[in-house]
Amino acid sequence: MTNSISTRVAILGSGPAGLTAAIYAARAGLAPIVIQGIQPGGQLTTTTDVENYPGFRDVIQGPWLMEEMQAQAEHVGTKIVWDHIAEVDLSRRPFRLSGDGGTHYFADTLVIATGAQAKWLGLPSEEHMKGRGASACATCDGFFYRGKRVAVIGGGNTAVEEALYLTNHSHDVTLIHRRDSLRAEKILQDRLFAHPNIKLMWDSEVVEFVGGGEPEALVGLDVLNKLTGEITRVPVDGAFVAIGHKPATELFASQLELDEDGYIKVELGTTRTNVAGVFACGDVMDKIYRQAVTAAGTGCMAALDAEKFLASMEFEALAAE
Ligand SMILES: Cc1cc2nc3c(=O)[nH]c(=O)nc-3n(C[C@H](O)[C@H](O)[C@H](O)COP(=O)(O)OP(=O)(O)OC[C@H]3O[C@@H](n4cnc5c(N)ncnc54)[C@H](O)[C@@H]3O)c2cc1C
């Protein structure tokens, strides 16, 4: 049997952006629904220690933070639905969303908070060492490697920025790149080449993340020199994979304006997309900061933008009577 649910605000995604939007929309009396997707709680549920989310003196755990955010959203009146949206129609209001399980959602406004996923190299040893020294976010985890040896893998702007950022914590940063030149902007390359604490390994590919000790932690990377075929062990305590992110925007590709990397475009200083009544927040529209607190911040903005939009629609409808 097909089920259908109507709402004034549908929020797609249950990471920090979606749940913060829900808290604000619920407290504005809009009774939002959050459609959780296949990763309830979002990316932070895949990590352990979080030390940079404000309000907590001690280190907190990512999954715990997201459970608290969900509980807060529910406490103020959000309905959380376990579903994954497979199709959307944004051509007219109410917008129509179709869930995997056959449920249809009709929404006066839509807040998109579907996030972005880091790209990884895809090695089994990399998967095994996630949270034990392998990371995809220097801003998030760099602090844990104070005074230690770290490597960054990649050759674009993000890789170079992460390597430079890591010099705040480490005197021994190695950038490993599979080609013989970087794709990063010239100004970033100049800063990188001039830095005394950054070494470069060109034409090099990581083939193994090597763990050791008890509890197990990263102790090195096996790196293949593509020109000579030689494999060298590079001793490091942390390895940051910086080969890009993929925003979860396939659903909207032909319906919303996206930038060249697939992120949803919003009007500067707002969360408004090019479709009236559709708002985007968090990592799905932010390829620069990608932090829980910035996702939460733009989630708040999206709820306020949606509330304002609904109020203006209702005012226009009244005026037309
Ligand atoms: C390992 C790791 C460690 C991190 N550590 C930190 C840290 O210490 N501090 C920090 O500030 N940030 C950290 N980050 C970054 C932070 O997690 C992200 O910036 C933040 O989660 C982005 O929030 P978001 O709500 O935009 O998206 P996400 O958290 O990515 O959530 C996206 C949501 O959208 C849902 N979704 C996707 N597609 C659909 C669909 N079709 N239908 C329904 N739902 C859908 C997913 O299920 C998910 O719930 C870390 C990230 C990772 C991966």
Q: What is the pLDDT of residues 215-231, one digit of tens each?
A: 999 999 999 999 999 99
The pLDDT score that the predictor gives to residue 318 is 83
Distance CA 135, CA 239 (A): 6
- Which of 321, 303, 266 lies closest to 24, judged by CA? 303
Q: How confident is the model at residue 170 (pLDDT cuts 50, 70, 90)?
A: very high
The pLDDT score that the predictor gives to residue 188 is 94
Pocket test for ligand 1, best of 38, 44, 255 (most atoms within 8 A of CB): 44
Q: Name every protein residue with a CB atom under 6 angstroms from any ligand 1 atom.
A: 12-18, 35-40, 42-44, 46-47, 50, 52-53, 84-85, 113-115, 118, 136-137, 140, 248, 251, 282-284, 290-293, 295
Report pLDDT digits (tens) over 121-144.
Answer: 999 999 999 989 999 999 999 999
Q: Atom 26 (ligand 1): residue with closest C-alpha? A: 282
Residue 186 pLDDT exceeds 70? yes
DSSP at 177:
-
The pLDDT score that the predictor gives to residue 302 is 98
Pocket test for ligand 1, best of 137, 145, 289, 298 (most atoms within 8 A of CB): 137
Of all residues in the chain, the percent with pLDDT exceeding 70 is: 99
Cα 295–301–304 angle (5° rounding)?
A: 145
Q: How confident is the model at residue 291 (pLDDT cuts 50, 70, 90)?
A: very high
Distance CA 43, CA 127 (A): 15
Residue 313 pLDDT exceeds 60? yes
254 Cα–ligand 1 center, Å: 23
The pLDDT score that the predictor gives to residue 154 is 97
Residue 140 falls in the annotated catalytic set: yes
SS3 call for 223? strand
SS3 call for 104? strand
The pLDDT score that the predictor gives to residue 1 is 56
Judging by beta carbons within 10 Å of its beta carbon (0-12, 13-18, 19+), is residue 269 exposed, middle or buried?
exposed
* Residue at 77: amino acid letter: G
Judging by beta carbons within 10 Å of its beta carbon (0-12, 13-18, 19+), is residue 312 exposed, middle or buried?
exposed
Distance CA 79, CA 70 (A): 10
Active-site hit among 108, 137, 172, 283: 137
Structure tokens at 122: 């895809």
Cα first-last separation, the chain? 38
- The 10 Å Cβ neighbour count of residue 64 is 15
- The 10 Å Cβ neighbour count of residue 93 is 16
Residue 89 pLDDT exceeds 90? yes
Residue 141 falls in the annotated catalytic set: yes
> If you average pLDDT over residues 97-112, what whole number do you get?
96
Structure tokens at 35: 């459609």
H helix or E strand, kind and range, residue 175 = strand 172-176
The pLDDT score that the predictor gives to residue 316 is 83
> If you average pLDDT over residues 32-61, what whole number do you get?
94
Contact, 184 vs 155, CB < 8 A? yes
The pLDDT score that the predictor gives to residue 66 is 98
H helix or E strand, kind and range, residue 231 = strand 231-235
| β partners of residue 12 | 35, 112
Distance CA 302, CA 310 (A): 12
Distance CA 8, CA 313 (A): 12
* Residue at 104: amino acid letter: H
Report field, pTM of the whole predicted structure over 0.85:
yes
The pLDDT score that the predictor gives to residue 317 is 83
H helix or E strand, kind and range, residue 163 = helix 157-166
62 Cα–ligand 1 center, Å: 10
Residue 283 pLDDT exceeds 80? yes
Residue 300 falls in the annotated catalytic set: no
- Which of 204, 155, 162 lies closest to 184, judged by CA? 155
Q: How confident is the model at residue 159 (pLDDT cuts 50, 70, 90)?
A: very high
Residue 243 pLDDT exceeds 70? yes
Active-site hit among 140, 172, 283, 286: 140
